[in-house]
Amino acid sequence: MSNQLNQLRQQLQFAIDNKTKPPGSLGLLETIALQAGLIQQSLRPSVQDPQIVVFAGDHGIAKTGLVNPFPQEVTAQMVMNFLRGGAAINVFTRLHNIGLTVVDAGVNNENWDELFVSDHFINAKIARGTANYLESDAISESAVVAAIEAGRSIITNLALQGCNTIGFGEMGIGNTSSAALIMSAITGIPVVDCVGRGTGVNDDQLKVKIETLQKVFQFHKLELYSKNPISLLGKVGGYEIAMMTGAFLAAAEHHMIIVVDGFITTAALLLAQQMEPGVKDYCLFAHTSQEQGHEAMLRYLDAQPILHLSMRLGEGTGAALAIPLIRSAVAFLNEMASFDTAGVSNSTESTTSRPKA
């Protein structure tokens, strides 16, 4: 860490410790406030125009029914639902005054109706879904690069419009499989420990899902791509995951507070982190998803998630729920009185420990 950043860290910690409260008593909110200050390089960080961007894309494997209980058509149907305001992410973003943008990264549908002429919908479709990675590469490398670039430019536009806090969500039937393969390739954790129930496969279906994905791992020799995120995305990625990868990169470049959602979003972060190892410093981890594998992914990233709600939905819902807490953290740092200004006696001998920064 540079000297300047180290100095800022000390100043932030001093400000936090001098608020009228026992040291460390606001727990993880103190860690969040400190990190927000470091991200924005400011003693007075802010949450401005927070946004969730949901990237949608289809997966060729989903047509086989081997890994997903819901049919592929649900991806496009849910995109319509997002635009009509009826999905969980709509409810949470409305409730908490968070902007919502939906991006077609690669949904397998013909065209959108006039409903989609909206500021909140971006048609960045690269193809109508990926190819089935049981038989071939999912995406060409040139299309991977195009998707990453599209993700970058969507986030850069939001940053230029004044958004400084961003969460990513995704919609894509079959994408827990893609995320599990990416996780296994990058972390070296065996496929069986990365695969979860997704939208709810039963025990028999889970066995088939695991066997299928083990076969895919061997077919593409994914261990060879553990340090090559572009090729890995080409082998088994999704358009929405590739776009999120670019989105992470741009958000970090613009010093945004990035709120990481669940299993699939964190897989995109694993890829972005390989491309630019500093990205994680801009991330706050919203929650631990119930998808098996997410906890190990978070451990791999040495991340401390904010919430534990047994959720396993995606769409950016965990991120939307964490944003009010991030707002609260920033607000206590900016608005609470200090011992000095409030004339409250401080105990300088306190031995109470602070949360881990």
Ligand X SMILES: O=C(O)c1cccnc1
**Catalytic positions:** 315
Q: Comparing C-alpha atoms, which of 222, 223, 224, 191 is closest to residue 209?
A: 191
Using the rule CB under 6 A, give the single segment among 125-133, 135-143, 246-254, 258-266 that binds ligand X.
258-266
Q: Does 314 bind ligand RBZ (CB under 6 A)?
A: yes
Determine contact, residues 66/184, Cβ cutoff 8 Å.
no
For 166, half-sphere exposure in the C-beta direction (CA atoms, 13 angstrom radius) is 31
- Strand-pairing partners, residue 257, are 165
Q: Comparing C-alpha atoms, which of 295, 334, 328, 335 is closest to residue 312?
A: 295
Q: Does 315 bind ligand RBZ (CB under 6 A)?
A: yes
**How far apart, in whole angstroms, are the C-alpha atoms of residue 354 and residue 291?**
30
Binding residues for ligand RBZ restricted to 162-191, rule: CB under 6 A: 170-177
214 binds, among ligand RBZ, ligand X, none (CB under 5 to 8 A by kind): none
Strands, sheet with 257-260, edge to edge from the N-terminal-most edge strand: 121-123, 99-106, 51-57, 165-171, 257-260, 283-285
Strands 165-171 and 121-123: unpaired
**How far apart, in whole angstroms, are the C-alpha atoms of residue 355 and residue 357?**
6
**Least distance (Å) between residue 87 CB and ligand X:** 13
Query: How many chain residues are in contact with ligand RBZ, going by CB under 6 A?
Result: 17
Binding residues for ligand RBZ restricted to 192-251, rule: CB under 6 A: 198-199
Which amino acid would we find at residue 51?
Q
**How far apart, in whole angstroms, are the C-alpha atoms of residue 351 and residue 353?**
6
312 binds, among ligand X, ligand RBZ, none (CB under 5 to 8 A by kind): ligand X
Q: Does 129 bind ligand X (CB under 6 A)?
A: no
Q: Residues 168-187: x/- map of binding to ligand X (CB under 6 A)? A: --------x-----------
Q: Does 262 bind ligand X (CB under 6 A)?
A: yes
For 20, half-sphere exposure in the C-beta direction (CA atoms, 13 angstrom radius) is 11
74 binds, among ligand X, ligand RBZ, none (CB under 5 to 8 A by kind): ligand RBZ
104 binds, among ligand X, ligand RBZ, none (CB under 5 to 8 A by kind): none
Q: Does 305 bind ligand RBZ (CB under 6 A)?
A: no
Q: Comparing C-alpha atoms, which of 130, 318, 334 is closest to residue 237?
A: 130
**How far apart, in whole angstroms, are the C-alpha atoms of residue 316 and residue 91?**
12
Our CB check for ligand RBZ shows the closer of 18 and 199 to be: 199
Cβ neighbours of residue 106 closer than 8 Å, sequence gap 6 or more? 56, 57, 58, 125, 126, 127, 128, 129, 130, 147, 238, 239, 240
The residue nearest ligand RBZ at its CB is 198
Our CB check for ligand X shows the closer of 159 and 322 to be: 322
Our CB check for ligand RBZ shows the closer of 23 and 293 to be: 293
Dihedral sign for Cα atoms in the order 134, 244, 325, 32:
positive
Our CB check for ligand X shows the closer of 217 and 263 to be: 263
Binding residues for ligand X restricted to 182-221, rule: CB under 6 A: 198-199
235 binds, among ligand RBZ, ligand X, none (CB under 5 to 8 A by kind): none
257 binds, among ligand X, ligand RBZ, none (CB under 5 to 8 A by kind): none
Residues that bind ligand RBZ (CB under 6 A): 68, 70, 74, 78, 170-177, 198-199, 313-315
Residues that bind ligand X (CB under 6 A): 176, 198-199, 261-264, 289, 291, 294, 312-314
